Amino acid sequence: MTALVPPFTRETAIAKVRLAEDGWNSRDPERVSRVYTPDSIWRNRAEFPRGRAEIIAFLTRKWARELDYRLIKELWAFTDNRIAVRFAYEWHDDAGQWFRSYGNENWEFDAEGLMQRRFASINDLPIKEQDRKFFWPLGRRPDDHPSLSDLGL
């Protein structure tokens, strides 16, 4: 495989999306922050983190609230240095209420393949525990686990 830097091919865009999914499923804010430029600009719901320190703080808060977090991302579209993804993740709050959060992200990368801009729109759907679809041990989604499209999401 070629390097995961712009300009993207379908193959490298799919691989970049999976690497992002794997990073977020680690729930390790430091690890995740390293794939963003030091001055990265985000929009995540109503929050606007800027730079790695704010990204780390944001993700630390996020994963303290969103327990047993499991995420699947899927390539939607790509061009030279941009990738659009759709995603869903399941989590529960400290009261035990489960949610499936659906969203879309637009990513822009620098020449070294670091994400310099990330814009996310997300909606939360309360679900019953028996309606969950993401069942793997915390961490990386197994390669044989169904994709969003396979799950009808």
Give the whole-angstrom CA distance, residue 132 versus residue 136.
Answer: 11
75 in a structural domain = yes
16 in a structural domain = yes
Mean pLDDT over the full length of the chain: 97
Q: What is the pTM of this model?
A: 0.95
* pLDDT for residue 82: 98
Q: What is the CATH number of the domain that holds 75?
A: 3.10.450.50
Better pLDDT: 1 or 64: 64
How is residue 65 written in tokens? Answer: 């609230």
Q: For 79-116, what is each residue's pLDDT tens digit?
A: 999 999 999 999 999 999 999 999 999 999 999 999 99
144 in a structural domain = no
Mean pLDDT (whole number) for 3-25: 96
* pLDDT for residue 5: 95
Structural domain count, the chain: 1
Mean pLDDT (whole number) for 123-134: 98
* pLDDT for residue 40: 98
88 in a structural domain = yes
Q: Is the confidence at residue 67, as pLDDT, over 90?
A: yes
Q: 125 with 131: CB under 8 angstroms?
A: no
5 in a structural domain = no
Mean pLDDT (whole number) for 11-37: 97
